[in-house]
Amino acid sequence: MADFLKIPHLEGKITDSHFVKRDRLGRTLVFLSRLMQDGLEKDPRDIAIDEKSAFLVEGDGRGSVVGPGKGVYFIRPTQQPKVCAAKTPLTFEKLEVYHAPHGSHFDLDRWAGEGGNSYSLSVEKGVVRSTQAGKLLY
């Protein structure tokens, strides 16, 4: 990713704060798609942290979620965006999401967690859909 930061276990990852509170899902999905579309990162991932939550990462890349907020969302695309162009609604399918609430754990190197739940998101012509119960995005 253009050599912006070189922090162990965070290479190729973007972060977003106040994620649910400020409804930043759309912005995050566009960031991920642009990184792939523009050839800046083949396998980008996002660590989206909600207000009043924190992800405490140890030196080995494993971390814990703390705080009374809605937790942390770990997002990973599984394929290239289908449509990612200026002034055109995004189409970007099969993004894996792992929602880690307070007390759960996540390993950045394995990109896997414990104590949370997994679901998928897809964007078709700018409309985000979720496989989560109740079709909830967050």
pLDDT tens digits, one per residue of 36-83: 999 999 999 999 999 999 999 999 999 999 999 999 999 999 999 999
In a domain, 5, yes or no: no
CATH of residue 97's domain is 3.40.50.880
Give the per-residue pLDDT at 118.
97
The contacts of residue 95 (CB under 8 Å, 6+ apart) are: 29, 32, 75, 76, 77, 78, 120, 121, 122, 123
Using CB atoms within 10 A of its CB, is residue 128 exposed (0-12), middle (13-18) or buried (19+)? middle
- Single-letter amino acid code for the residue at 84: C
pTM, entire model: 0.93
Give the per-residue pLDDT at 3.
59
Domain of residue 109 covers 13-130
pLDDT over threshold 90, residue 8: no
Tens digit of each residue's pLDDT (9 = 90 or more) over 97-123: 999 999 999 999 999 999 999 999 999
Tally of structural domains, the chain: 1
Give the per-residue pLDDT at 4.
59
Residues in the chain: 138
In a domain, 7, yes or no: no
Instruction: Give, for 128, the enclosing helix (H) or strand (E).
Output: strand 127-130
- Eight-class DSSP state of 44: -
CB 99 within 8 A of CB 116: yes
In a domain, 36, yes or no: yes
